[in-house]
A and B are shown apart, each in its own frame.
Chain A
């Protein structure tokens, strides 16, 4: 397997412009002859499907939810970054590029990140013209706020529902195409296999989740925009249905899986309350604009927070990182929270929590201002915890939130399987080892609106396509595999539900491959996961049949894939013997406990190639070169 990044030559700030000119075009009359399958209808999928249909391509779009508008992009709260410099505070494409490369701890491909920063400004223009109701100032112009890892205000937002509004914009563009008949939408359909013919991605096999029918769909290219795989940890801020099946099936058909160990842990989530917990809820990073994070200075301090005087509080982020304070990046903030809790200074019944306190902001700005900025988040917090955050500080703790790893793609967002493109969180590009806040929405829309529509045209324009129909043997074989797999899940007839296995897998990963990892912990995880997988295939209980709505069967299929991915995640974490961004190996830290990179040996992307059932996958390497932003130790002090 060869990892050719296909980054264009020339100066960094001209690569994308030059590439756009160099790419081949398809004449407008011929565009409809090329068909595209888009799997996933979140920001990346919906924007790609709509944009490709607008260009004239023949598009089919699939999602497992009951409507494309439900995709989990909808839950993003805080905002979207763009280098507009509307605040006149020194922002620029170069600065957004720099912040993102540095924020990713120098483990992203520079040229991709630069392009992302360039198109960020077009995204805001596009969304405003679609009617996204961004927050505005009294003069009618767009408002901004700050986010972690940046010293400028470049984040655009729609109250605490930015993801919802951006997704509805893309969804409406998609539905417009559905109405025009250029996109055929398949809701409640889940991809089960990628179909590769003569080395090229030529379609997918899906299961109709209502009828259980197994169906084949052929196309000239396939785009996976199926999101991240963080639900492998069970408890996460993802939607319950988020899964790895689409990208995992593609991995098993030859798409390299890059940096699976880069999993982001978000510092501000509502702490776990009990063993029945089914998911975790994020409290937007934007709250750190006005909230101050602290724990008591004294271990085991049981006093209510309002009775702890200021000089007995440790505002540890402000103390350790004075220049970024409460807006230190996510990986740094999460580890700092773990550290104070490990010292016995955590708060709440479990001791796994820190305070996020608005007392000073309310005193300074008034409760009304805070209500205007964050009311929906405060209400959500109160509903879940039964505590009023206007009166007592919020309790928060880190939780799994995003995965920077994903299928490996070249500069054109094409995977190692020709014709298979990967967009949004499902790919590995742009965020390196740590994503900055408000950059996921930016990347999803950049990929879907402004990158894939160009690069896929180039792919069509520069290749010949033999006619392939769903009668091809490759489709029949894939359908048989899917049917066989469903049959095996249903015929185990053991004693345990899929959920119990999923919880157990999540606990293994959180305990041994979570916020801090060691050679020892990872070796342990690599023994426990295969054993659990073995048990799954012997003791799983799925009731009902495959020819109807069967939510247990859907879960079981997803958990089966998570049980395989979990192992690869730990293997990747084990082999990356350095600390970088969200990947913190305890053996590699400096005297102050900060992550210590090893640029000598690990300044590269690790991409895994599947070698078949029971065989160890091969670790390939794409070296990273930094010509514009010089390698340096990341400091937020």
Chain B
């Protein structure tokens, strides 16, 4: 056995949002999670609860997840009001039970946002993010057209900053954390990643205009600088990227008016 956690197991009470499908009304249902090992991940704890439910003939709790190593961005549960739970810079799948205590009562909810409809229990539809990317979150470089990779040097500082923005996993915690359910941090991260690179310059204006327009069309709220998004982001994407995108967006809007 590994880990330095104690072998003491714990018991928790879970209030879980259960909702049959998109159209159904949901409700909280209470479950007991017994004999939980502190070295378990949060999702492994739910696996154990689900196995118990199945053995009792009750339908297991549906939740999204895939890689379980904090990179695919598919998992995401609001735990006691915090997207991805209490620990900073951590996805739900990388949260471990040692972050909790015996006797804790936890409330588990899906992401709450008009643009992310709940499809079952803790699962939501984040298709809006894909549509925002399709509206400009790319560099037009069809296969086969590329010049030699080292023909355009990129200053290390710019490449590093672009990488900081590109680290976004598209989980949507920023939206879930925002009182306005704004998607600004997600959109700013993608736009900044591409706008910081020389390859991204030709489409710089089109990109921000297209993505922001789509974002508004999807029903996300506006940004009023609460900063909750940055605090909830499992990849610690900086809110400074929002300011950077706003600059690009203002410039592009002015250019559009005068052209």
Contacts and interface: CB of A to CB of B under 8 A. Distances in A.
A303 to B, nearest CB: 16
B246 to A, nearest CB: 21
B214 to A, nearest CB: 9
B72 to A, nearest CB: 4
Interface in B53-80: 54-55, 57-60, 62, 64-74
Contact of A278 (B21, B44, B152): B44
Contacts of B20: 548
Interface stretch (B102-110, B126-134, B220-228, B250-258): B126-134
Contacts of A279: 68-69
Residues of B contacting A: mostly: loop
Interface string A232-246: 000001011100000
A129 B133 contact: no
A466 interface: no
Interface in A483-499: 495, 497, 499
Contacts of B148: 125
- Tell which of B57, B71, B159, B197 has the most Cβ of chain A within 10 Å: B71
A171 B72 CA distance: 13
A380 B69 contact: yes
A383 interface: yes
A67 B126 contact: yes
A133 B162 CA distance: 6
A210 interface: yes
Contacts of A74: 67, 71-72
A277 B67 CA distance: 14
Contacts of A75: 67, 69, 71-72
A124 B151 CA distance: 12
Nearest to B197: A131
Nearest to A143: B156
B244 interface: no
User: Which of B67, B137, B139, B197 has the largest number of chain A CB atoms within 10 A?
Assistant: B67
Contacts of B144: 122, 126, 450
Contacts of B199: 128-131
A271 B2 CA distance: 7
A350 B37 CA distance: 16
Interface stretch (A161-169, A581-589, A617-625): A161-169
A67 B15 CA distance: 28
Interface string A193-218: 00000000000000000100000000
Interface in A248-289: 270-274, 276-279, 281-282
Nearest to A183: B134
Nearest to A450: B143
Interface in B180-206: 193-194, 197, 199-200
A316 B57 CA distance: 51
A524 to B, nearest CB: 27
B123 A549 contact: yes
A151 B120 CA distance: 51
A7 B69 CA distance: 40
B209 interface: no
Given A176-B138, A349-B1, A499 B47 contact: yes
Contacts of A272: 2
B127 A86 contact: no
Contacts of A453: 143
B60 A552 contact: yes
A12 to B, nearest CB: 23
Given A140-B156, A543-B58, A543-B59, A387 B138 contact: no
B146 A125 contact: yes
A126 B199 CA distance: 11
A497 B170 CA distance: 31
Interface residues of B, number: 81
B135 interface: yes
A234 B238 CA distance: 37
A159 B141 contact: no
Contacts of A278: 41, 43-44, 47, 68
B119 A549 contact: yes
Given A178-B134, A240-B66, A551-B62, A125 B143 contact: no
A176 B134 contact: yes
B154 interface: yes
A616 B239 CA distance: 60
B159 A395 contact: no
A220 B69 CA distance: 37
B159 A69 contact: no
22 contacts: A50-B143, A66-B74, A66-B123, A126-B146, A129-B146, A130-B139, A131-B141, A135-B163, A140-B156, A175-B130, A179-B135, A210-B119, A239-B68, A273-B39, A274-B1, A279-B68, A279-B69, A282-B69, A349-B2, A386-B3, A549-B21, A549-B123
Return the 10 tightest CB-CB contacts between A and B, nearest first: A140-B153, A179-B134, A172-B138, A125-B146, A129-B146, A349-B1, A129-B141, A175-B134, A133-B163, A51-B143
Interface of A: 47, 50-51, 54, 65-72, 74-75, 84, 86, 122, 124-131, 133-142, 158-159, 161, 164-165, 168, 171-173, 175-176, 178-179, 185, 187, 210, 237, 239-241, 270-274, 276-279, 281-282, 348-350, 353, 379-380, 383-387, 395, 449-450, 453, 495, 497, 499-500, 541, 543-544, 548-549, 551-552
Given A140-B154, A278-B44, 17 more contacts: A66-B74, A70-B72, A72-B67, A126-B143, A136-B153, A142-B150, A158-B163, A161-B167, A173-B138, A178-B130, A240-B66, A281-B68, A348-B2, A379-B89, A385-B2, A386-B3, A549-B120
Interface of B: 1-5, 20-21, 37, 39-41, 43-44, 47-48, 51, 54-55, 57-60, 62, 64-74, 89-90, 94, 96, 98, 119-120, 123, 125-127, 129-130, 133-135, 137-150, 152-156, 159, 162-163, 166-167, 169-170, 193-194, 197, 199-200
